Structure 1
Amino acid sequence: MALKEANETLYWIKIMIKSALVSKSRFQKMIEKNERIIKILTASINKLKEK
């Protein structure tokens, strides 16, 4: 569920940037943090599937 929400958040940030509602530079750090969260969640899920 958390991974789905993180992906959706990233999707909406990118939509806002493409529609020029916000500047990419203003949200760049948020994008980077969100992508790190996605990587962490994905790694955790993969580890649990291995067990």
Structure 2
Amino acid sequence: MVNLYRELAYNQKEYVMSKQLLKSVTSIGANIREAEFAQSKLDFINKMSISLKEANETIYWLDLLFETKFIDKKTFDNYKSKSEEMIKLLVSIVKSAKE
């Protein structure tokens, strides 16, 4: 999605939604990395939950970019599908960690 951001910002001159997309999608990975060295189980769950929220936010920005015709259906479907898979994985991780 970093490449999608580049495309939107540099070629289509769309700066607001694409920047928000970039922030949310990079936050997913950053929080997962932080969770790897969590100080406690609760800290781990918190970081993974933040990643989950960011993954959901990513879909929101993709929806807006699609609805405003900055991205086509194929691009939207591809990235939304990947985001939904990430959400499924994160939900599973958070549920397992809470048990």
Unaligned runs of 5+ in 2: 1-49
Aligned-pair identity in percent equals: 36
Counterpart pick for 1:38 among 72, 75, 87: 87
TM-score for the superposition, normalised by structure 2: 0.47
TM-score for the superposition, normalised by structure 1: 0.85
State how many pairs are aligned. 50
Residues 2-51 of structure 1 deviation map (CA, whole Å, 9 limit, x = unaligned): 1111111111001111111211212211111110000000011011111x
Unaligned runs of 5+ in 1: none
> Where does residue 13 of structure 1 map in the other structure?
62
- Moved >6 Å (runs of 4+): none
| Higher-RCO chain (CA-CA 8 Å, sequence separation at least 6) | 1
* Greater gyration radius: 2
